[in-house]
Amino acid sequence: MDRVQHLGPIDGDGGNMPFLGVAGIFVGHSPSSLVVTVASVTCNGAGWIVAFLHAKSNKMPIATSPLADRVALITGAGRGIGRAIALRLAQAGAATVLAARTEDTLLTVAETVRASGAEALVVPTDVTNDQQLEGLVNTTLTRFGHIDILVNNAGGGPPRAPVVKARMGDWQWTLRVNLWATMVLTKLVLPSMVERQSGAIVNICSLAGLTGRAGEAAYAAAKFGVRGFSQSLFEEVREHGIKVSTICPGYVDTALIPPNRRVDRSKMLSPEDVAEAVYGVVVSPARCCPVEIVLHSQHDPIKT
């Protein structure tokens, strides 16, 4: 980070901004593919509209890492965005709990995490199964005793279809994997964070949670729900020192993008771009919470 441009408050007196590293635009050392259009930050009671981007940091020894002694639970951690988040937090020293349906992919990620010097726990989990979510949390607490960071990343949507032709089963699955799982897992993890009076919950959302799109009604409904849940939750737990943040990326170059989608992958965000935003939330000072971050590609990837 070379310098910071001050923006300004939207309410509250805003007389003194104690942390310009969050409320400002970082200039220098940022991923060329990434631009953040808006982040709403709460700081000492004042609301701020900011452009938010945390610069990449070099690998450092675990003993001096900012997330040493922290435990991070990441869903959908076997590939794509979840994998990138797990590796970024591990690079900063966090012990990572890797959850996804496919054990083989998790084991591969765990090997990379351990190679960086961090600890990894693999827990195969179907997030649409409430009992498995409960088992995931119990296994984590048995191993580590606490959970400091929860990243609700698992998600997905059905093939595009207008409402009149959509299948009810697709709707149920979409709501369950994107919204219900986020709510249930958060509820299960919260007691550990409240007990320690600290923590960070980061919910990976989507631009579909900001603007509805034809053919994606169920997915948009689920992601709008994630944003509403996150905003309400923040008001409930902020006094316990717990951050709640929603990250809404645009198109990200992962296997979830159908091959027939008319997009230029070279112009998409990378999973690492989203991981940097998650890291920025987690390491922001205790007095500040970036409650919502919207990420766009610098260049529009949609083919016309």
Residues designated catalytic? 219
| The one-letter amino acid at 241 | G
Name the packing angle between helices 80-91 and 103-115 (round to 10°): 20
Show the tokens assigned to 218: 């169920």
What gap in Å lies between CA 283 and CA 139, rounded to an integer?
A: 25
Mode of pairing for the β-strands spanning 34-43 and 288-297: antiparallel
For residues 146 and 196, is the Cβ–Cβ distance under 8 A? yes
Find the length of the chain.
304
End-to-end CA distance of the chain: 36
For residues 292 and 39, is the Cβ–Cβ distance under 8 A? yes
